[in-house]
Each structure stands twice: as structure tokens, then as C-alpha cells.
């Protein structure tokens, strides 16, 4: 059985222990070092990383400055383990080696302790998305009187517009475009539908460029600035490239993100009930990942 490893600098241990206990309580096998890497530090690091499916670093300035934390997370990357960052320190922005290693990654917000339950829920969802079909490998056996998380492979992410509470979904309508063939239209749906779920594909590991493939239709999400048109199509090229960014202004603990069309240079939003791309970021450009 694999585990979820918590990687932290010593000052973040109280929060790491709280997260550890919450994950274990939900039926997820978590691992953390409680002795500040006593004994053979390298062996302890290697064992934790090699036995993991996902490593969750607790991001702070002291974590970035720590030689041991750097060694641990660099080894995580070398072992090709998934990384799900947890942001702990308000206004901290990773730079240098840590910024390079976590570039393009969605971090889970633990900056506001009053929203801890939301943060744990977001962390579990991100772990599940990162593990894919292997999520069952980190499931613990629990007794009947304990709460166990229903851990199942996910069918993708749903995007919920924060201002309108509507879902990004395909309509089922197909139109013919003179330059790129058949394209399916999209809508802002009131509820999650079969076509509301999207699989994230990156060009290469660590790439900031993302393609979103509809789980139900296999169409790739795209944006055409000529006509302000949001669509899906069977193949992906430049107009189907996106940047998925954490919305740092949101402190609810939920996974608030921004979708930016790399080719059209527009932020995806909903205005007057219609999907639209806008040049300037405004608060209505924010979405929750579900």
C-alpha cells in the first residue's frame, strides 16, 4: 500500500499533524516524520518519498530556505511522484528552486485556519485527481463506527463559476466552422451534467500549458477570440491551450482558480448569462473546481 506524504519544515509541524489526523480519519493512509528526520536523514527522506503516491509540501519561506526540504522535494520530482502543494504562509510566493518545481501547480489554501475543513476537502479532491485510478492504493481499512471517505476514481474536474454558480458544459450542439471543421458549443449549465467534467492534460510533466478534454465527449476546450466563441473540438492546437491558475484572492479553502486562454489571451468568465473571454482580470473571472 502506498501513502500520502506530508513534507514540511519543522515550524509547520502543528498544522501538518492536524492535516495528517484529518486524512487518516477520512480513510487515507498519510505519512509524516514526527522526529525531525532523526537518525539517518537521507534514509528517512528516501523511504517517505519512495513509498508515496503523492507528496504534499507545506509552502513557507522557511521551507524554501531549508536544505533538507529542498533535498526532499527535489527527490520527489526525480522519483516522478505527484506533488500537491499546500500554501501555509500568507503572501508567500515561491521563488528559486521551489518556484521552478511548483510552477503551474494548483496549491491548496491552508492560510486561513477558520476554513480548515474546506481546505481538507480541497486537498482530498486534489489528491484523488492526482492519483487517478490508483487512489484505492492509499485507502485505509476502518471500523464500521468510523467515517471513511468514499474513494473512487474521478471522471474529471467540473468548473463552477463563483459569481453565478453555473457549470461549464457542452450543449450537444455541433456547428461547422469554415477554418477548423466541426466544433461543439458550450453553455453555462445550472447543474452538473454528463458534459460538465473535464480531464486535465499537460503537454509535458511540469508544463504550465493545459488541455481540457471533456470526459463525456473527448472534445478539447478551446477559445476563439474572433467572435468571442468558447467551444470544444476533437483535436487540440494552439487555441485549445489554457493556463490554470490558483486564485490567490480567495481564502475560503475551496479550490478557486482562473482559466486563461493562452492563444486568445482572455480570461474565461460568464457575463449576462453567456460564456465570454475578457482581456482584463476581474472578480467574475473566478471558478471553483468541483
Per-residue pLDDT reduced to its tens digit, 78-99: 999 999 999 999 999 999 999 9
Three-state SS annotation for 44-59: HHHHHHHCEEEEEEEE
The dihedral sign for the CA sequence 145, 254, 111, 64: positive
Backbone angles phi, psi at 41, to 5 degrees: -60, -45
Beta strand 181-189 pairing with 167-177: antiparallel
Residue 159 confidence (pLDDT): 96
* Residue 213: pLDDT over 80: yes
| Residue 151 scores a pLDDT above 70 | no
| 3-138 under CATH 3.40.50.10140, yes or no | yes
157-289 is classed in which CATH architecture? Answer: Trefoil (2.80)
DSSP conformation letters of 124-169: HHHHHHHHGGGGGGGBPP--TTS----------EEEEETTT--EEE
Question: What tens digit of pLDDT does each residue of 238-269 get?
Answer: 899 999 999 988 989 999 999 999 999 999 99
Which is more confident, 39 or 194?
Answer: 194
- Asked if pLDDT for residue 222 goes beyond 70, the answer is yes
Contact in structure between 187 and 200 (CB atoms under 8 Å): no
Question: Which residues lie closer than 8 Å to 286 by C-beta, 6 or more apart?
Answer: 161, 162, 163, 247, 249, 250, 256, 257, 258
pLDDT(143) > 50:
no
Q: Identify the top-confidence range among 41-55, 110-124, 150-164, 194-208.
A: 110-124
Q: Is the pLDDT of residue 1 over 90?
A: no
CATH 2.80.10.50 in the chain: give the residue spans: 157-289
**pLDDT at residue 150 greater than cutoff 60:** no
User: Which helix (H) or strand (E) segment is 221 a member of?
Assistant: strand 220-224
From 230, 158, 229, 234, select the one nearest 193 (Cα to Cα): 158
Count Cβ atoms below 10 Å from residue 276 Cβ, excluding itself: 19
Q: Write down the pLDDT at residue 36.
A: 52
Confidence class for position 189, pLDDT limits 50, 70, 90: very high
At residue 8, the pLDDT reads 96
CB 240 within 8 A of CB 218: no
**What mean pLDDT do residues 61-87 have?**
96
Residue 188: all three cell numbers together: 453555462
**Residue 220, SS3?**
strand
Strand partners, 168: 188
- Taking all residues of the chain, what is their mean pLDDT, rounded to a whole number? 88
Task: Please tell me the pTM assigned to this model.
Answer: 0.82
For helices 116-131 and 13-25, what crossing angle results, to 10°?
70
158 contacts 192 by C-beta, under 8 angstroms: yes
Range(s) of the chain covered by CATH 3.40.50.10140? 3-138
Output the pLDDT for position 149: 46
Distance, CA of 40 to CA of 28 (rounded, Å): 27
What pLDDT band is residue 147 in, cutting at 50, 70 and 90? very low
The three grid cell numbers given for residue 94, joined into one nine-digit string: 515561491
Residues 10-22, mean pLDDT to the nearest whole number: 96
Residue bearing the bigger pLDDT, 107 or 129: 107
pLDDT tens digits, one per residue of 30-46 = 999 876 555 566 787 88
Euclidean distance between CA atoms 201 and 22, whole angstroms:
29
pLDDT range class, residue 154, cuts 50, 70, 90: low
Contacts of 239 (CB under 8 A, 6+ apart): 222, 223, 224, 261, 263, 264
Can you give the pLDDT at residue 115? 94
Amino acid at each position: 500500500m502506498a501513502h500520502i506524504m506530508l513534507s514540511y519544515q519543522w515550524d509547520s509541524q502543528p498544522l501538518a499533524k492536524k492535516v495528517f489526523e484529518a486524512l487518516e480519519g477520512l480513510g487515507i493512509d498519510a505519512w509524516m516524520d514526527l522526529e525531525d528526520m532523526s537518525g539517518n536523514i537521507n534514509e528517512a527522506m528516501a523511504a517517505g518519498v519512495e513509498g508515496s503516491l503523492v507528496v504534499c509540501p507545506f509552502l513557507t519561506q522557511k521551507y524554501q530556505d531549508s536544505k533538507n526540504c529542498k533535498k526532499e522535494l527535489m527527490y520527489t520530482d526525480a522519483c516522478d511522484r505527484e506533488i500537491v502543494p499546500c500554501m501555509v504562509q500568507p503572501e508567500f510566493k515561491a521563488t528559486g528552486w521551489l518556484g521552478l518545481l511548483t510552477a503551474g501547480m494548483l496549491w491548496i489554501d491552508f492560510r486561513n485556519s477558520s476554513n480548515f475543513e474546506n481546505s481538507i476537502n480541497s486537498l482530498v479532491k486534489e489528491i484523488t485527481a492526482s492519483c487517478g485510478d490508483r487512489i484505492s492504493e492509499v485507502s485505509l481499512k476502518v471500523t464500521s463506527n468510523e467515517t471513511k471517505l468514499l474513494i473512487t476514481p474521478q471522471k474529471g474536474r467540473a468548473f463552477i463559476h463563483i459569481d453565478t454558480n453555473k457549470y461549464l458544459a457542452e450543449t450537444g450542439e455541433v456547428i461547422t466552422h469554415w477554418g477548423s471543421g466541426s466544433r461543439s458549443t458550450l453553455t453555462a449549465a445550472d447543474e452538473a451534467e454528463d458534459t460538465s467534467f473535464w480531464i486535465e492534460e499537460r503537454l509535458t510533466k511540469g508544463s504550465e500549458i493545459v488541455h481540457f478534454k471533456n470526459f463525456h465527449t473527448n472534445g478539447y476546450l478551446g477559445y476563439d477570440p474572433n467572435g468571442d466563441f468558447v467551444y470544444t473540438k476533437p483535436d487540440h492546437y494552439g487555441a485549445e491551450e489554457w493556463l490554470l491558475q490558483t486564485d490567490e484572492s480567495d481564502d475560503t479553502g475551496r479550490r478557486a482558480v482562473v482559466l486563461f486562454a493562452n492563444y486568445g489571451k482572455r480570461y474565461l468568465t460568464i457575463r449576462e448569462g453567456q460564456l465570454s473571454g475578457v482581456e482584463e482580470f476581474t472578480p467574475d473571472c473566478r471558478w471553483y473546481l468541483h
